[in-house]
Amino acid sequence: MSNFSFLNPFGVLDEPGTYMGDFYSHNFSKKAKEGTVILNLGPQHPSTHGVLRVLVELYGEYVMRSEPVLGYLHRSHEKMAEHKTAYGFLPNMGRVDYLNAIGWNWAYAASCEQLAGIQVPERAEYLRVISAELNRISSHLVWWGAFVLDLGAFTPILYAFDDREDLCDILQRVTGSRLTMNYFRFGGVGADGDERFFRLIREFIPRMRERLKMYRALVTDNVILRRRLEGIGSMDADMCLRYGATGPILRAAGVRRDVRKAIPYGIYDRFDYEIPVADRCDNFGRYWVRVEEIEQSLRIVEQAVAQIPEGKHIVDKAPKPAWKIPAGESVFSVEGARGEISVHVISDGGKSPYRVKLRAPGFSNLALFAEAAEGTLLADAIATLGSLDLVIPEIDR
């Protein structure tokens, strides 16, 4: 036995090399029934977004049992946090989930601000809301294209990226990068939006609304897509509660829960927008909720751009790179594109934070895939996987 005996308490791990396949497929096949096929979906598989591997036990085309295998993209952001300064960990936040970088920026920066009691100036709050909502729209667009690509339509992802290019150009003007944005600072934001930034946004909103009509005509009302999504992959409210699934999955199960309204942070309470909720509990419900959210985010950005005051974009004596988080503990939740992003910072007042726990919504959302995909067809299991809007770097951290 390897000398790390305490790592193998129940003797679950057999000696490597005494079985076919690798450790996880062997561990998974122990409970396999007769006449079933163990299939590896991924990690190199066109429809797992990034490097997700799902072990699937097939009986013919029906998925009897499945188990996602994670860790192929584990970079250990939480361990890096214990070796970097609080300020130095901010760029990591853009890399944890590159589709919704601003959401993660907000969660970490606000968690440290909440602990240190730093107030953010008005203009910065508006810039935060604008960039977060634009980032949410771009994340939903990538999900929308990739999800319909999973179902076999090759063109819509190009139209979605067509719009997302405009969003990346807009966000690049303030954050400097298009994907892994490092925009937030403790006490405000990194750069102020200039006249061209706001003009581009004002031009983008009506154009996007026109495009949403086109998306509805091309995909949402398409009968093949409706048949592929309606009534498949049912996840009701109780299942979401048992697994801790949040975001569009929870809202598609009929629970009106959005962190922006449940735990009001920033200045979200100044804008009027609804939370799209559908109690369909199936793939189409999740699809509909996300497409509606794009519309609601457009409304928020519209109002924010109209009401933004003049002023500083960062507080005067903003913390410098060598800033230390005061001792204490803080949990802060943000409504990311995929669900509730929470950052739990424990600090001993030293140069680096003592422990940073990143709660990724995808991690809990993926956990309920095994139960939702039981007994469905392989094609439906792939559709359910796509409807969870998974971003693997966020799950593996």
Partner 1 sequence: MSTPEAWRDAFKEAGALAVTRPDPAKSGLALSAHMPAGSLVAAAEKLKAGGFSLLFITTADFTEGFLVTYVFDSFTEHLRMALRVLVKDKSCPEVPSLAHVYQGAEWHERESYDFYGVIFTGNPNLVPILLPGDDPIPPPHRKGPDVIASIRKLGFLGEAEWASDGWELAPAPPETKPAAGAKPAAEKPAAGAKPEAKPETEKPAAGAKPEAKPEAEKTAAGAKPAEAGKEEGK
Partner 2 sequence: MITAIWDQLKGLYSLIVGMIVTGRYFFAPQKTVHYPRKVVDPEDLAAYRGPLELTRGKDDESRTRCISCQMCAKGCPGNCIKVVKGTEGKLPSTWVYDFSLCCLCGACVEVCPASAIDFSHRLYLVVTSREELVMDLLADLKERVAANPLKPAPDVPAAAGQKAADAPSAGAAKNGEV
Partner 3 sequence: MELSNISISGLIILVIACLLVIALMVVNAIVMVYAERKGAGFIQRRPGPYEVGPWGTLQPVVDSMKLLGKQIFVPSNVDFFLFFAAPVLAFFPVLLLFLPIPFGPFLTALKVPDGIVLILAFAGFGLLANLLAGYASNNKYGVLGAGRAVSQGVAYEIPMILALLAVVFQTGSMNLSEIVEAQGRWPWSWNILCQPLAFFIYLVTLVAETNRAPFDLPEGESELTAGFHTEYSGMGFALFFLAEYANMLLVSFVCATFFLGGYKGPVLDGFWWTFIKAYLVMMFIVWIRWTFPRVRFDQLLNINWKWLLPLSILNLWITAVVVNFIGK
Q: In a 3-state reduction of DSSP, which class is residue 330?
A: strand
Kindly tell me which residue out of 205, 217, 262, 327 binds partner 2, with binding defined by CB under 8 A. Answer: 217
51 near partner 3, rule: CB under 8 A: no
**Helices within the chain (DSSP H only):** 23-29, 77-81, 90-96, 101-116, 122-150, 156-175, 195-215, 223-229, 237-243, 248-252, 259-262, 283-307, 361-367, 369-372, 378-387, 392-396
**Measured between alpha carbons, how far is 11 from 15 in angstroms, rounded to an integer?**
10
202 near partner 2, rule: CB under 8 A: no
Q: In a 3-state reduction of DSSP, which class is residue 51?
A: coil
Contact 150, 290 (CB under 8 A): no
Kindly tell me which residue out of 172, 237, 239, 244 binds partner 2, with binding defined by CB under 8 A. Answer: 172
Please state the closest distance from residue 150 (CB atom) to partner 2, in A. Answer: 17
Binding mask 70-89 for partner 2 (x = CB under 8 A): --------------xx-xxx
Contact 189, 174 (CB under 8 A): yes
20 near partner 1, rule: CB under 8 A: no
Q: Which of residues 67-126 bind partner 1 (CB under 8 A)?
A: 67, 70-71, 74, 76, 78-80, 82-83, 111, 114-115, 117
227 near partner 3, rule: CB under 8 A: yes
322 near partner 1, rule: CB under 8 A: no
Contact 41, 68 (CB under 8 A): no
Query: What is residue 88's DSSP assignment?
Result: G
380 near partner 3, rule: CB under 8 A: yes
Kindly tell me which residue out of 29, 36, 177, 234 binds partner 2, with binding defined by CB under 8 A. Answer: 177
Residue 348, binding choice from partner 2, partner 1, partner 3, none, Cβ under 5 to 8 Å by partner class: partner 1
Q: Closer CB to partner 3, residue 170 or residue 232?
A: 232
Contact 389, 146 (CB under 8 A): no
**Measured between alpha carbons, how far is 239 from 120 in angstroms, rounded to an integer?**
38
**Measured between alpha carbons, how far is 112 from 332 in angstroms, rounded to an integer?**
9
Contact 265, 334 (CB under 8 A): yes
Contact 130, 201 (CB under 8 A): yes
Among candidates 153, 123, 319, 121, which has minimal Cα distance to 222?
Answer: 153
375 near partner 3, rule: CB under 8 A: no
Kindly tell me which residue out of 39, 179, 212, 346 binds partner 1, with binding defined by CB under 8 A. Answer: 346
Side chain identity at 365, as an amino acid letter?
N
331 near partner 1, rule: CB under 8 A: yes
Q: Which stretch binds partner 2 (CB under 8 A): 142-150, 168-176, 361-369, 377-385?
A: 168-176
397 near partner 1, rule: CB under 8 A: yes
Residue 14, binding choice from partner 3, partner 2, partner 1, none, Cβ under 5 to 8 Å by partner class: none
**Measured between alpha carbons, how far is 246 from 250 in angstroms, rounded to an integer?**
5
222 near partner 2, rule: CB under 8 A: yes
**Measured between alpha carbons, how far is 391 from 380 in angstroms, rounded to an integer?**
19
Kindly tell me which residue out of 348, 374, 377, 379 binds partner 1, with binding defined by CB under 8 A. Answer: 348
Query: What is residue 219's DSSP assignment?
Result: I
167 near partner 3, rule: CB under 8 A: no
Kindly tell me which residue out of 225, 235, 245, 360 binds partner 3, with binding defined by CB under 8 A. Answer: 225
Place of tokens 């503990």: 329
- Pull the structure tokens for residue 95: 């890399």
338 near partner 1, rule: CB under 8 A: no
How many CB atoms sit inside 10 A of residue 215's CB? 21
Contacts with partner 3, residue ranges (CB under 8 A):
37, 39, 45-47, 61, 148-155, 158-159, 162, 218-219, 222, 224-225, 227-228, 377-380, 382
Contacts with partner 2, residue ranges (CB under 8 A):
84-85, 87-91, 95, 155, 159, 162, 165, 169, 172-174, 176-177, 180, 182, 185, 190-192, 194, 196, 214, 217-219, 221-224, 320-322
Contacts with partner 1, residue ranges (CB under 8 A):
2-4, 6-10, 12-13, 16, 22-24, 27, 67, 70-71, 74, 76, 78-80, 82-83, 111, 114-115, 117, 237, 240-246, 250, 255, 257, 262-263, 326-333, 340, 342, 344, 346, 348-352, 354-355, 357, 359, 363-364, 367-368, 371, 396-397
